């Protein structure tokens, strides 16, 4: 796969220390042809399946392959429209699979996907995987967890510290595959301008559930994407590795040929 020199990209997924199979899935895609790249940009996404060993893996794979297909094969359009269509396609694909395989009823997946196009970021998000952004020295998540404990934090019932160790912290309030015909995902209201040196981090809760935002940000700022991925996954495993762990890190470099501007 061709990766242009204006970004430094690394990714890593690990089953962890406890689960027998990895239900996470990730993808990265940029068109090989420069004219297609200029029209479409690049896609980076991550998903964390649920619903048993078989169901979770199938759901996360179906979701990202559906979004990838819309990005790759659809007509070039506004990135936000591509993401909205991709998420709808992913929902339909998962629900159709469950309809023909009723033993997999209940399977679903988180999904966080971003398109980088001409120096701007658009994203779609559902569940509790996260998209973080390092920009102008500030690092933090730009997505909101769709989880029960986050609802309790937002309503003031729990503190963030209590939420971190709550026994129901993995209970999702939204996911692809839930038995609704509509996709209750969040999408960026407008493209976010990016600058050289900015860093994107996509992570499943197997990472951010045990490694703090500050620790993830420190690795993103001080290490190469390759070293940061390996350092963060090792930290998660040292702290129990109770879940699958997946991370993608993309750093924007200078673009001497101006192809992304």
- Over its length of 261 residues, how does the chain's per-residue pLDDT go in tens digits? 679 999 999 999 999 999 999 999 999 999 999 999 999 999 999 999 998 657 999 999 999 999 999 999 977 679 999 999 999 999 999 999 999 999 998 899 999 999 999 999 999 999 999 999 999 999 999 999 987 776 665 666 666 655 566 556 677 888 999 876 678 899 999 999 999 999 999 999 999 999 999 999 999 999 999 999 999 999 999 999 999 999 999 999 965 334 433
pLDDT score for 51: 80
pLDDT score of 256: 37
d(CA 93, CA 171): 23
Q: Which of 28, 240, 44 is nearest to 132 (CA)?
A: 44
pLDDT at residue number 52: 66
pLDDT for 178 equals 82
Query: What CATH number should be reported for the domain whose range is 7-138+175-251?
Result: 3.60.40.10
Burial 6-26 (b: 16+ CB within 10 A, else e): bbebbbbbbbbeebeebbbbb
pTM exceeds cut of 0.85 = yes
Q: Which residues contact 232 (CB under 8 A, 6 or more apart)?
A: 203, 207, 211, 215, 216, 219, 247
pLDDT at 181 (0 to 100): 63
Angle at 192 between CA 230 and CA 213, to 5 degrees: 35
Contact status, residue 185 vs residue 174, Cβ threshold 8 Å: yes
Strands (E), the chain: 7-14, 24-29, 42-50, 108-109, 111-117, 120-126, 130-135, 138-141, 186-187, 192-193, 199-203, 245-252
- Which residues, at least 6 apart from 159, have a Cβ–Cβ distance to it below 8 Å? 153
**Backbone torsions φ then ψ of 71, nearest 5 degrees:** -65, -45
Phi-psi category of 151—alpha, beta or left, where left has phi over 0 and alpha has psi -120 to 50?
alpha
């Amino acid at each position: 796969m061709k990766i242009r020199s204006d970004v430094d990209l690394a990714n890593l997924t690990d089953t962890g220390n406890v689960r027998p199979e990895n239900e996470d899935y990730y993808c990265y895609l940029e068109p090989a042809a420069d004219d297609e790249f200029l029209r479409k940009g690049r896609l980076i996404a991550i998903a964390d399946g649920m619903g048993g060993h078989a169901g979770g893996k199938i759901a996360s794979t179906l979701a990202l392959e559906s979004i990838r297909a819309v990005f790759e094969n659809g007509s070039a359009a506004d990135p936000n429209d591509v993401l909205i269509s991709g998420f709808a396609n992913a929902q339909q694909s998962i629900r159709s699979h469950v309809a023909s395989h009723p033993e997999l009823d209940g399977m679903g997946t988180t999904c966080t996907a971003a398109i980088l196009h001409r120096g701007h970021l658009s994203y779609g998000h559902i569940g509790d995987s996260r998209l973080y952004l390092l920009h102008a020295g500030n690092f933090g998540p730009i997505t909101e967890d769709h989880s029960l404990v986050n609802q309790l934090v937002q309503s003031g019932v729990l503190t963030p510290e209590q939420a971190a160790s709550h026994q129901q912290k993995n209970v999702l309030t939204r996911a692809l595959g839930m038995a609704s015909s509509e996709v209750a995902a969040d999408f960026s209201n407008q493209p976010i301008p990016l600058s050289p040196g900015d860093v994107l981090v996509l992570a499943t809760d197997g990472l951010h559930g045990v490694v703090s935002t500050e620790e993830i940000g420190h690795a993103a700022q001080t290490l190469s994407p390759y070293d940061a991925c390996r350092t963060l996954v090792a930290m998660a495993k040292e702290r129990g590795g109770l879940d699958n762990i997946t991370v993608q890190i993309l750093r924007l470099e200078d673009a001497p040929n101006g192809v992304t501007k």
